[in-house]
Chains A and B, each alone.
Chain A
Amino acid sequence: VTRKLRAGEAFVCPQGLWHRQFAEKSVSMLYGTPIDTSENSDADDPRVAAEKVTVPVAAVSRSIMPFLHIEGVAQAVEFYKSVFGATVLMRDEEPSGIVSHAMLKMGETTVMLSDPSSRDVKQNDVNRLSRPPRSYGGSPVHLYIYVADVDDVVRRAVAAGAKAIDQVEDRDWGDRCGGIEDPYGHVWFVGTPLKDLPAKGSS
């Protein structure tokens, strides 16, 4: 069954029914999910698969969007894709080949990357105030990211050049969690709720 909605229209989907939605053009969609067991995924959304998305910022960013300053955004995009399963929403490449900005989606959070060596960032009053973490000798911001399998993600992060800074352990706040400093100097705590840990030996 396909239902076509126009601007301002709403559709109530019965509980327990698998459904998906596609936008024909740039729209903001508002979702209300009244029950805890609902799962959202964009795994079969062709727009995401093609990494060519025309979703406006408001539709993709429902939370505070961290804006990370990184030397070498082009490589960082590959790192976050392979390690955190990020998808690329936007990638601005300058004629020099430098990627000035990239907008990534990690889970349902949008994260922006900004390269201080790009022309666009050098010209931007606010972005040019900041440099990558290592030029300060650290970062005053850590990012906590939920993933499906923390052990696997941390292992792959380290294999891809991150530094393990806090061992993966079961924590008293209910997550299994470990800390890494990524190859660009940003610090991430990676967590999986203990009750959702993949069964041992399954991977």
Chain B
Amino acid sequence: MASKVKSIPKGWHSVTPFLCVKDAARAIEFYSKAFGATELQRIEEPDGKVNHALLKIGDSMVRLSDDSSRHVAEWVAKGWSRSPQSLGGTPVHFYVYVEDSDAAFKRAIAAGAKAMEPVTDKEWGDRLGSLMDPFGHIWMIATHKRDVPVEEVSKRRAGRG
């Protein structure tokens, strides 16, 4: 079976997102300010464009590349990536757990994110707000408040409408 992995490198999870953004240098600044990201690595091209960078947000690694870097140009040539701003949206959101979603949400908005949904208590036990970052990626910022069995959440959903 494919799921039993011997050794995921230390500090990594099974799944790691790789984001394409317009102006990666500014995005790194935003993710640091808004989500407390730590920059672990930054590879620049001769013109200063971020070829790729490695950030840690909470306990998760996130990679990103600049839309106009040579790295992404290679991808685009193969037909498989551009930033949300060039594509007109994104098919992937990110759900992130933080200590205090109200505070994190406020910080992100102050750093330039756009609120999509204010922070409220959700039926699955999380206090959650959603926002679009200045680069078009969508984040759901949550703090877990109480445990609700998943069946119960499904039941409530089913009975709602």
Name the B residues within 8 Å of A106 (CB-CB).
Answer: 3, 14-15
A125 and B114 CA atoms in complex are apart in Å by 14
In this complex, the interface size class of chain A, counting residues with CB under 8 Å from chain B, is: 35 or more
Distance to closest chain B CB from A72 (angstroms): 13
B144 touches A43 (CB 8 A): no
Among A27, A120, A174, point to the contact of B9 (Cβ < 8 A). A174
B4 touches A108 (CB 8 A): no
Name the B residues within 8 Å of A192 (CB-CB).
Answer: 5
A136 touches B87 (CB 8 A): yes
In this complex, the interface size class of chain B, counting residues with CB under 8 Å from chain A, is: 35 or more
Please, which residue of chain A has its CB at the minimum distance from the CB of B94? A64
Whether B40 is near chain A, meaning CB under 8 Å from some CB there, is no
A97 and B45 CA atoms in complex are apart in Å by 50
Query: 8 Å CB contacts to A: which residues of B52-86?
Result: 57-60, 62-63, 78-84, 86
B91 touches A186 (CB 8 A): yes
Among B6, B18, B97, B124, point to the contact of A148 (Cβ < 8 A). B6
Name the B residues within 8 Å of A117 (CB-CB).
Answer: none
A132 touches B91 (CB 8 A): yes
Name the A residues within 8 Å of B95 (CB-CB).
Answer: 61, 64-67, 112
A66 touches B94 (CB 8 A): yes
Query: 8 Å CB contacts to B: which residues of A74-96?
Result: 83-87, 89-92, 94
A90 and B125 CA atoms in complex are apart in Å by 15
B4 touches A148 (CB 8 A): yes
Distance to closest chain B CB from A46 (angstroms): 16
A140 touches B19 (CB 8 A): yes
Q: Which of B15, B95, B130 has the most A CB atoms < 10 Å from its CB?
A: B15
Among B6, B140, B144, point to the contact of A56 (Cβ < 8 A). B144
A57 and B138 CA atoms in complex are apart in Å by 19
A54 touches B81 (CB 8 A): no
Distance to closest chain A CB from B61 (angstroms): 8
Given A66-B17, A137-B87, do A126 and B117 touch, yes or no (CB 8 Å)?
A: yes
Chain A 39-64, CB within 8 Å of chain B: the 1/0 string?
10101000000001111111101111
Please, which residue of chain A has its CB at the minimum distance from the CB of B75? A142
A56 touches B149 (CB 8 A): yes
A166 and B77 CA atoms in complex are apart in Å by 12
Interface residues of A (CB under 8 A from B): 25-28, 36, 39, 41, 43, 52-59, 61-70, 83-87, 89-92, 94, 100, 103, 106-109, 111-112, 119-120, 123, 125-127, 129-133, 135-149, 152-153, 156, 165-166, 174, 179, 181, 185-187, 189, 192-193, 195-196
A-B contact pairs, 20 of them (CB 8 A): A52-B151, A56-B144, A56-B147, A56-B148, A58-B147, A66-B17, A66-B92, A66-B95, A68-B92, A85-B2, A109-B13, A131-B91, A138-B82, A140-B19, A143-B17, A144-B15, A144-B17, A193-B7, A193-B8, A196-B6
- Nearest first, the 9 A-B pairs at minimum CB distance are A107-B14, A85-B3, A58-B144, A56-B147, A67-B93, A54-B149, A65-B95, A109-B15, A141-B92
